[in-house]
A and B are shown apart, each in its own frame.
Chain A
Amino acid sequence: MIGAGGIAISVEHLTKRFGALVVVDDLSFHVRAGEIVGFLGPNGAGKTTTLAMLLGLLLPTSGRVQVLGLPMPAERQRILARVNFTSPFVSLPGNLTVNENLTVFARLYGIPRARGRIAELLDRFGLAELRGRSTGRLSSGEGTRLGLVKALLNDPEVLFLDEPTASLDPDGAERVRERLREIRAERGTTVFYTSHNMQEVERLSDRILFLHKGRLLAEGPPGDVLRRFARETLEEMFLDIARGGPAAS
């Protein structure tokens, strides 16, 4: 079940304050089902805080979040059963093998025929040979790909990714982008991700949301946003905003 009008994620007037500090300020946006949306902004823009509210890890101060047509946090468990998340900044227990970690998460998500699903995804991400290896002995790139395998175990309708290619070399990063495009094409998965790799965002995203000081500064297909801000690349635009240039105002 997707929300009304094929909306996978709906955020309305979302605000998060920590004391006097306003981290997310009256943020509103929608993500359509099947879209790949890049969520951008300089450090401290409020991306992680917003992501945490979308995942039910953090309560908003005010505003409304709906994922797959269900309100977060009221329907937190129903939503979380149908979405998934990974980040290179969280990890799986290092002293369990790749297969053991995935088996645990397959059970947490109640996945039928988990063994076959795990084998299929490990193969897809080039990790089939490593299934018996301790997770702690994986390279950072392998760990990132394992995180993606974990995030795809439950065939999520919405995939939340935090810097999905942060620790990958250019070849590995391109392979991950290919897999994400494939999965979207095959399953209609909505992908909502943060990244500091502006070239990647231009190549992968249908649409971008550019956050600055907790507010939405720009929204739309990358080409449209660049035209509006009269910039050649997203990197130029990012640097301008991060350094308080004209695009930031």
Chain B
Amino acid sequence: MRREDLGREWRAAEAAWAGLSAGRIFALLLRQLYLYRRSLIRSLEIVYWPVMELLVWGFLSVYVGRLRGGGALAIAFLLGGMILWDVFYRAQQAISVSFLEDIWTRNLVNIFVSPISAGEFVAAMLVLGVMKVIVTGLLLSVLALLLYTFNLFQYGLPLIPFILNLLLAAWAIGVITTAMILRYGQGAETLAWAIPFLFQPLSAVFYPVTVLPAFLRPAAWALPTTHAFEGMRAVLSGSAVPWNLAGWALAENVVLLALSAVVFARVMYIARDRGLLLRLEG
């Protein structure tokens, strides 16, 4: 049998097993939950860093609010931007760092010789991202209310489309980051932390797109995160829900998610062709 035929056979096998098993996805989630229960450092990770960021950005927001031209809206924009950025960042981290943990603990081969599919492996990481975001998002929102009387909950439902879009973007970026680590090995692990920040300057997290130089704006609008943060500011300033921004973000996310699926599938094929799964554990 020729190599091309085997490749086709492989892809056919992956497609045939596209149906995901909830039991196997739950097994991988259970492992993460055990890890959080067992490791104080890991539990602090979803509390410590977000809370530290909230304290710094919260006090900065209070200061900016007191400046001439500042005010309650400045506090809302900065704190809202910080909390929603953390939603994006933590969800992306949940995916790429949980993959790195399997490399660090030399457990990757054990996982991939079990009957789990690549789709189930990714699905477990995505669900973990959602769980992390719920915990961190709620914690930060409650603390922001207590410390800075910034009530994110009062904006309620209108913010949901933008938070969901950030989650979708985080999934796509997390999957692409994981694929890069798989492709280029542990030397590329710093990408897990670096790639989200590549998006931050253009995503207009803490300032509107109009602040950016004109030549950068098209690139900014090409990112779903930019639409989400612009939408957040519109909601926080009391405007009606800007559905056009939510729609654009969703459309761009669909493209980004499709791209991430293609990249991951391609890298998995390369990994199995070149033995990268074995080398990662070497």
Contact = CB atoms under 8 A, between A and B. Distances in A.
A binds B: yes
Interface of A: 18, 48-49, 52, 55-64, 71, 73-78, 80-81, 84-85, 87, 89-97, 100, 103-105, 107-110, 134, 150
A64 B3 CA distance: 11
Nearest to A15: B3
A63 B5 CA distance: 10
Given A64-B1, A81-B115, A109-B115, A91 B107 contact: yes
B213 interface: no
A93 B31 contact: yes
Given A77-B17, A107-B27, A90 B110 contact: yes
B278 A57 contact: yes
A58 B274 CA distance: 7
B189 interface: no
A97 B12 CA distance: 38
B68 interface: no
Interface in B1-32: 1-3, 6-7, 9-10, 12-13, 17, 21, 23-24, 26-28, 30-31
B13 to A, nearest CB: 5
A110 B10 CA distance: 24
Given A57-B112, A59-B273, A90 B6 contact: no
B258 interface: no
A50 B201 CA distance: 48
B101 interface: yes
Contacts of B269: 59
11 contacts: A57-B278, A58-B273, A59-B3, A59-B273, A60-B1, A62-B2, A71-B9, A77-B115, A81-B115, A92-B105, A110-B23
In this complex, the interface size class of chain B, counting residues with CB under 8 Å from chain A, is 35 or more
Max chain B CB contacts within 10 Å: which of A56, A91, A104? A104
Nearest to B5: A62
B114 A59 contact: no
Interface string B107-121: 111111111110000
B187 interface: no
Contacts of B28: 104, 108
A94 to B, nearest CB: 6
A105 B110 contact: yes
A110 B112 CA distance: 15
Given A57-B278, A58-B272, A108 B114 contact: yes
Given A73-B9, A95-B39, A96-B38, A52 B116 contact: no
What 8 pairs between A and B have smallest CB-CB spacing? Answer: A107-B27, A81-B115, A80-B115, A108-B27, A93-B105, A90-B109, A104-B31, A108-B114
Contact of A55 (B6, B13, B111, B113): B113
A244 B273 CA distance: 31
A45 B148 CA distance: 66
A60 B6 contact: yes
Given A89-B281, A91-B106, A108-B114, A52 B31 contact: no
Interface in B87-138: 101, 105-117
B272 A59 contact: yes
A54 B269 CA distance: 16
A74 B16 CA distance: 9
A90 B112 CA distance: 12
Nearest to A58: B275
Given A55-B113, A73-B9, 9 more contacts: A52-B275, A57-B112, A57-B272, A73-B13, A76-B17, A85-B109, A89-B281, A90-B110, A108-B28
B272 A74 contact: no
Contacts of A77: 13, 17, 115-117
Interface string B250-282: 000000000000000000010011110110010
B34 A100 contact: yes
Interface string B176-203: 0000000000000000000000000000
A138 to B, nearest CB: 13
A56 B2 CA distance: 16
B107 A92 contact: yes
A87 B109 contact: yes
Nearest to A63: B1
Given A95-B39, A103-B30, A59 B110 contact: no
B271 to A, nearest CB: 9
Contacts of A49: 275
A56 B278 CA distance: 11
Nearest to B21: A110
B35 interface: yes
Given A80-B114, A85-B113, A90-B110, A74 B278 contact: no
Nearest to A16: B275
A74 B114 contact: no
Given A73-B6, A80-B113, A108-B27, A91 B272 contact: no
